[in-house]
């Protein structure tokens, strides 16, 4: 546990203990009873042997004696006191009485020393306790003020933000060009002002998670060498109304003091959602925060030298006022990296790792379409962890394959054992996908197939597009559906039986078929947008989907989808029936080997068997030579 946390947790108890001790001392001080006696009363009690304790203190300044003591019938806090003229005869009489009486006699010989000791023993502890209580009270009050200081900005000044540059951002070539103007403006604003140009006050980075939006913002600050403030959209929202707006004001106040600077707001959709569109509940605090942010960005006041970069993966829910010119008037889409960008990202994350000689990052980039920068970093990290776990000195292709499977499907369930019947079913199911990938040009390319259980899947086929493209033809989409249906059809062709293992394949195939009918106009219903899409693929689902269609058209959509799926099913069944020998060959090989790669599949199709170890080593040597030449 943190030592500061322990100290802060013990402080209230220490304060309580000191308070109780001080109260007890003060209680004993003010609760004591002092009886002033006359000389005759004292002599009478002395003769009656009622005196228990006597302390005589000479007072040289007043030439008197101060006699303090206790009677035997006194209570614990009760004493008596007498003042008598200075007399040696009195001291002699008291000493003589002590020999016959039973009481304790103390005579102070140094009155000045006794005075200072009395002060030290009685007054100084009280002063120290009062001082300690005042110090603790002031400290606790100061901490209380800090805890109640809701209106202060939560924006953090990142000390090492200026150390990140564009060299640390792999890929994102077009995105870097889009934000280059911000760097030039932060470095030399007069150049733009002399031309009458207005630099964008805010830049909105839009893209799926893990594509490097935060890293790009830090690189802008690093290239411009200006302070970098980081804050999340949720840091503005608080329980009390008005706190978020106060934090926005304080954030811009701090930024003005350090201008030129850059403010990065991550997940701005937490505070910038459209006003008045909540599903129940109040929005006063969030909407006031948004209003203050809009005012600060483009109100009557000018925030010269302050650039705001925000990131979100839900631009569709942002308030229109936030996106208008003068605020976030420039949007930069940070998309998933393509093959070349993935290779650059892999090179950045591979700098501090040791790879075997046969590893080619270019080939690895081809095998990872759809991976974000964060996914690629996680992939290499998982491979490094597996290498250490296996006591190897360099990362090999075996660790990379296993790491890829872990990232996509989860760890292998080595303790789960198939029966021979289940294993053969799964082998033919996955072999059906492989055959369809081999026989159809539009189907995805098979990179690896395994029947080892992972996650919720009994086995899986790793398929990637033959070529990365932005647009797909109708033929390619239909053949993709055929490839997805290959597993179920193989079960029916071989065993005349079907299993539950194809539910995820059906989900993907149905989604493609519905999009063909309702969005792409690839059916007999014509080129019509019958349903609005959910938005970009990385935006997630909305609560409702807008349908401006009648029940009759909805029924026709279902019929068209069924027609597409059924025609693809029949085509798949025909192809697998015609290539039953190839299906048996791949399935039997899978049953024995459990996992085969693309290279092994190609060799199997050509030679009817897997290559021997000597052939594989010879092929790896040839591949290394080809890579060195390239």
Could you tell me which residues come within 8 angstroms of residue 554 by beta carbon, excluding any fewer than 6 positions away? 547
460-464 β-sheet, strand order: 460-464, 445-450, 595-597
| Contact (CB, 8 A) for 256 and 306 | yes
* Cβ pair 249, 211 in contact under 8 A: no
**Gap between the Cα atoms of 603 and 609, Å rounded:** 7
32 CB-near residues (< 8 Å, 6+ apart): 77, 78, 79
Other Cβ atoms closer than 10 A to 557: 20
Q: Are 583 and 569 in contact (CB under 8 A)?
A: no
Burial class of residue 297 (count of CB atoms within 10 Å of its CB; 0-12, 13-18, 19+): buried
Reading the block at residue 442, the tokens are: 């539009």
Bridge partner list, 311: 205, 266
d(CA 151, CA 249): 9
Sheet with strand 51-59: strands edge to edge: 33-36, 78-85, 64-71, 51-59, 104-107
Known catalytic membership, residue 578:
no
Burial of 318 (0-12, 13-18, 19+ CB in 10 A): buried
Strand-pair partners of 550 = none
- 518 burial level (CB within 10 Å; 0-12, 13-18, 19+): buried
Is the CB of residue 80 less than 8 Å from the CB of residue 71? yes
**Separation of alpha carbons 452 and 499, rounded Å:** 17
Catalytic entry in 238, 296, 430, 560:
430
Beta strand 261-266 pairing with 306-312: parallel
Strand, helix or coil for residue 110:
coil
Contact (Cβ atoms closer than 8 angstroms) between residue 596 and residue 448: yes
**Angular region, 303: left φ>0, alpha ψ -120 to 50, beta rest:** beta
Phi (first) and psi of residue 85, to 5 degrees: -60, 155
487: nearest Cα among 464, 506, 510, 466: 506
Closest CA to 203 of 269, 133, 264: 264
Omega of the bond leading into 141 within 30 degrees of 0 (cis): no
Q: Is residue 337 left, alpha or beta, with left meaning phi > 0 and alpha meaning psi from -120 to 50?
A: beta
Show which residues are catalytic: 430
């Amino acid at each position: 546990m943190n030592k500061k946390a322990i100290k802060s947790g013990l402080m209230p108890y220490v304060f309580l203990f000191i308070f109780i001790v001080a109260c007890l001392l003060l209680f004993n001080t003010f609760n004591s009873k002092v009886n002033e006696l006359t000389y005759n009363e004292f002599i009478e009690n002395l003769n009656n042997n009622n005196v228990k304790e006597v302390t005589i203190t000479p007072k040289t300044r007043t030439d008197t004696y101060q006699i303090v003591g206790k009677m035997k019938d006194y209570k614990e806090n009760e004493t008596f006191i007498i003042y008598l003229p200075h007399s040696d005869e009195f001291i002699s009489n008291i000493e003589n009485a002590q020999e016959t009486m039973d009481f304790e006699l103390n005579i102070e010989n140094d009155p000045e020393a006794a005075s200072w000791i009395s002060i030290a023993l009685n007054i100084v502890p009280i002063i120290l306790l009062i001082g300690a209580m005042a110090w603790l009270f002031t400290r606790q009050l100061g901490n209380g003020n800090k805890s109640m200081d809701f209106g202060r900005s939560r924006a953090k000044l990142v000390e090492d933000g200026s150390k990140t540059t564009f060299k640390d951002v792999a890929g994102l070539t077009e995105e870097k060009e889009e934000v280059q103007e911000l760097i030039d403006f932060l470095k030399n604003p007069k150049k733009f002002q002399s031309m009458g140009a207005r630099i964008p006050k805010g830049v909105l980075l839009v893209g799926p998670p893990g594509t490097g939006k935060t890293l790009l913002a830090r690189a802008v600050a690093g290239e411009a060498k200006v302070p970098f403030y980081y804050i999340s959209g949720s840091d503005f929202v608080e329980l009390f109304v008005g706190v978020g707006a106060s934090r926005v004001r304080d954030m811009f106040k701090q930024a003005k003091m350090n201008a030129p600077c850059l403010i990065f707001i991550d997940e701005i959709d937490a505070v910038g959602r459209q006003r008045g569109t909540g599903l129940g509940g109040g929005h006063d605090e969030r909407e006031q925060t948004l209003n203050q942010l809009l005012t600060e960005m483009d109100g009557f006041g000018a925030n010269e030298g302050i650039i705001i970069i925000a990131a979100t993966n839900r631009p569709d829910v942002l308030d229109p006022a936030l996106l208008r010119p003068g605020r976030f008037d420039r949007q930069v889409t940070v998309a998933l990296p393509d093959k070349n960008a993935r290779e650059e990202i892999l090179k950045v994350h591979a700098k501090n790792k040791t790879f075997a000689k046969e590893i080619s990052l270019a080939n690895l980039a081809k095998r990872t379409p759809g991976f974000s920068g964060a996914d690629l970093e996680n992939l290499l990290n998982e491979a490094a962890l597996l290498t250490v776990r296996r006591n190897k000195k360099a990362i090999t292709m075996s660790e990379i394959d296993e790491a890829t499977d872990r990232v996509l499907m989860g760890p292998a369930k080595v303790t789960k054992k198939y029966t021979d019947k289940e294993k053969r079913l799964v082998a033919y199911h996955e072999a059906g996908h492989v055959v369809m990938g081999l026989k159809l040009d539009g189907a995805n390319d098979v990179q690896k197939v395994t029947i080892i259980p992972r996650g919720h899947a009994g086995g899986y086929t790793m398929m990637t597009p033959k070529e990365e493209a932005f647009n797909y033809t109708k033929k390619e989409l239909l053949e993709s559906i055929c490839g997805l249906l290959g597993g179920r059809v193989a079960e029916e062709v071989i065993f005349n039986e079907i299993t539950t293992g194809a539910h995820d394949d059906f989900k993907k195939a149905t989604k493609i078929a519905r999009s063909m009918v309702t969005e792409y106009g690839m059916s007999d219903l014509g080129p019509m947008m019958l349903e609005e899409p959910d938005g970009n693929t990385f935006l997630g689902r909305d609560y409702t989907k807008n349908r401006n269609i009648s029940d009759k058209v909805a029924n026709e959509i279902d019929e068209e989808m069924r027609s597409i799926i059924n025609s693809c099913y029949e085509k798949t069944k025909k192809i697998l029936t015609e290539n039953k020998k190839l299906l048996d060959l791949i399935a039997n090989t899978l049953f024995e080997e459990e996992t085969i790669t693309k290279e092994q599949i190609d060799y199997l199709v050509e030679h009817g068997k897997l290559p021997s170890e000597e052939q594989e080593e010879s092929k790896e040597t040839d591949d290394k030579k080809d890579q060195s030449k390239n």
